[in-house]
Structure 1
Amino acid sequence: MTPDTWQSSGTLIGGQRSPGRAREGSVTGHLFKITRERAGLTQQGLAEALGVDHTTVQGWESGRRPLASVSTANFRSVQRTLLRYGADPALLALFDVAMDADAVLGRTLHGGASTDCATHPLATLVFSRTSTHMIAWALTGTPPAALPAPTADTPQRRGPTPDGPLLGAAERSAFFDRLRRYAEVAHRAGENGALLRRQALYLCGYDTAPDTRAWIADVRSRQARVAHRTSWSRADARSLATSLTRYGDREPLQRFVERELADDAGEQANLNYWAYWFGLDRLPRGDDSFMGSCMAWDGGALLRRLVDRLAPDLGCIDLNVHSVWALLAARPGLLSVDPALRRDLAGRVAGLLDGGTVSARSRRELDALHYGLKMNS
């Protein structure tokens, strides 16, 4: 495609919006900026390589012209150009999840008065850790764990530039207010609103407003009155409990482990969800029913990721300990596959047993892990 074709098609440089919606593509735009900078390209240099005006590149990076408005064919061409000029493939692989994050932010902030449970992005796709962290990047300023660290030879930025796609305080407040409204509407919709409710509640846990903890606890109390056990009610309980750990309240999560993971179905759902959360199940999921199914995922890869979460300062440490224990109870042979991982696990188990930061149940499970590790040494 020639530069003239790109210009005349209106797709590569399209997507301009009114000033009131100027940050709708901020996450994807900032990722694009990082990708360009780490490839050693200037805005002008990339614009020349693409055959567009440098203001187009500026618009993409600022979010004023969302990359999601560029046609798929043209955006793939942009990615191939970046790759040809030395862009990190790991960064290019994150653009789809960044667009998902912008879709959530844009729909919640700019969706008008509609609170349709069926069409919100959080109602139609189960978000993984990477996609959830992409959204949180705009809410907390913390880069996603999947974002590669810059190398030592990454060019330094000149002048004052944002370090991330963090929304302004007023935008963050509006986002959380509207997300609460979606969660409430989804709660009244029952099982039909299950996915939106669960994911909206989890994201609300990033809200630092003084009343957030009480609001989440109230939703949890109402949800606890749901008598029947389904995959989505377990997922709700998990999201609510993990959200409350951000405020130092670990009792709901300990109760979740005690009650909801007390049978084989609960254990299977928990491990299936971890596999999806960490990206080991690469199929897109439109609801939470997959947690109760028989899934094929790499047990060794899941164990490595769970072992990394055996850190005493994590609020979800009791769930993490139980998940490692349950995985090894189901697949004890994993301990013999990777000696380095076994040593890492042994060190973390010993540290947690010495630290006294876990529940009595977790201590029993850690003792069992410690014994099993000794038997397999």
Structure 2
Amino acid sequence: MDADQIIGAALDPQGDIGSHPLAAWVHTQDTAHMLAWALTGVVPPVLRDRVPLPRRGPVAEAPLLGAVDKAQFFDHLRETAEAARSPRGGALLHRQALYLASYDRGPEAAAWTAHTLHARRGVLMRQGWSEHWAEARSTATALARLGDPQTLLDFIERSLADDDIAEAANLNYWAYWLGSVRLPQPDDRFMRDQRLSDWDPVTLLRGLARGLNDAPGYVDLHIHTLWALLDEHPWLPKASPALATVLAERISQLLDGSGTSGRTRRELRAVHYVLDDRI
């Protein structure tokens, strides 16, 4: 339903960007995956193992938007991202519209998105937590989607690692993104809660473990978040031994490979130690 609302707002815009669904709540991974299904035909991971019921006559394999509707959807996102930079727009609407625009991989669209994201590099220069932290994170991950991994590595080093508020914000955001926070959040303020008590750590561990395979472009951010989660809750491997065993095997594979940063390899070894010591 969330994805339908966002698509509906793009195909039948009402003019008032203040009431846009991307301005009304922080969307989750499930919403993003449903949107990607309609835009790219890629089946959401949660639905991959489900066998569709037989129906009479020909049935589309995916809720894929036609070429005209898809073009209108992305045009609307780019227009919305531009409009949201005005005082009547809003940071949440701007960053979410811009992030979703990065799903358009056409050459001209990718160039526009990359140019617009690079124009926001000022928010990436801030050390540790700031009021622009969520925008900086979204900018870094969108650039990683477009093939620029260094920006995300710099974000981890400069604006996340060793800052208590930023580390808590990262865990809170991942918990929400992966479905461990059940209530919809109207804005980014929930990220600043340093109690880390409004979500289930096991659900977050399971989602992060799955993401190591589903989102290879973000592996450094996944590993840092795993490291921070196990540092906060070292009992987690005992709570889910089967998951910890599978995760330990995946961490070993990553340690045997290459292409990760020095920080990521140190954190991989720390994660492996915790898992191996408590399985």
| Residue equivalent to 2:148 | 249
Paired residues for 1:27-42 under 5 Å: none
Shift of 1:157: 4.0
Partner letter of residue 145 of structure 1?
P
Shift of 1:196: 0.6
Change (3 A) 1:281 1:348: same
Find out whether 1:121 has 2:21 as its counterpart: yes
1:249-283, Cα deviation, whole Å (9 max, x unpaired): 21111111111212011110011011111111111
Paired residues for 1:190-339 under 5 Å: 193-226=90-123, 233-262=132-161, 263-293=163-193, 294=195, 295-311=197-213, 314-339=216-241
Distance in structure 1 (CA, Å) of the matches to 2:117 and 2:203: 32
Tell whether the 8 Å contact from 2:129 to 2:165 is kept in structure 1 after alignment: no
| Residue equivalent to 1:69 | none
**TM-score, structure 1 normalization:** 0.67
Find out whether 1:363 has 2:239 as its counterpart: no
Shift of 1:210: 0.4
**TM-score, structure 2 normalization:** 0.89
SS at 1:332's partner residue? coil
The percent identity for this pair of structures is 47
Distance in structure 1 (CA, Å) of the matches to 2:256 and 2:182: 37
Partner letter of residue 165 of structure 1?
P
| Residue equivalent to 1:132 | 32
Aligned length: 274
SS at 2:252's partner residue? helix
Shift of 1:158: 4.5
| Structure 2 unaligned spans of 5+ | none
Distance in structure 2 (CA, Å) of the matches to 1:155 and 1:216: 39
Distance in structure 2 (CA, Å) of the matches to 1:126 and 1:341: 28
Paired residues for 1:11-90 under 5 Å: none
Which structure has the higher relative contact order (CA within 8 Å, separation 6+)? 2
Tell whether the 8 Å contact from 2:230 to 2:274 is kept in structure 1 after alignment: no
Partner letter of residue 292 of structure 1?
R
Distance in structure 2 (CA, Å) of the matches to 1:238 and 1:349: 24
1:94-126, Cα deviation, whole Å (9 max, x unpaired): xxxxx22122111112115x2x33110100011
Change (3 A) 1:101 1:244: same
Give 2:5's match in structure 1, choosing from 103, 110, 115.
103
SS at 1:356's partner residue? coil
| Residue equivalent to 1:28 | none
Find out whether 1:172 has 2:74 as its counterpart: no
Tell whether the 8 Å contact from 1:269 to 1:291 is kept in structure 2 after alignment: yes
Distance in structure 2 (CA, Å) of the matches to 1:143 and 1:254: 29
| Residue equivalent to 1:11 | none
Distance in structure 1 (CA, Å) of the matches to 2:242 and 2:49: 24
Tell whether the 8 Å contact from 1:312 to 1:352 is kept in structure 2 after alignment: no
Partner letter of residue 224 of structure 1?
R
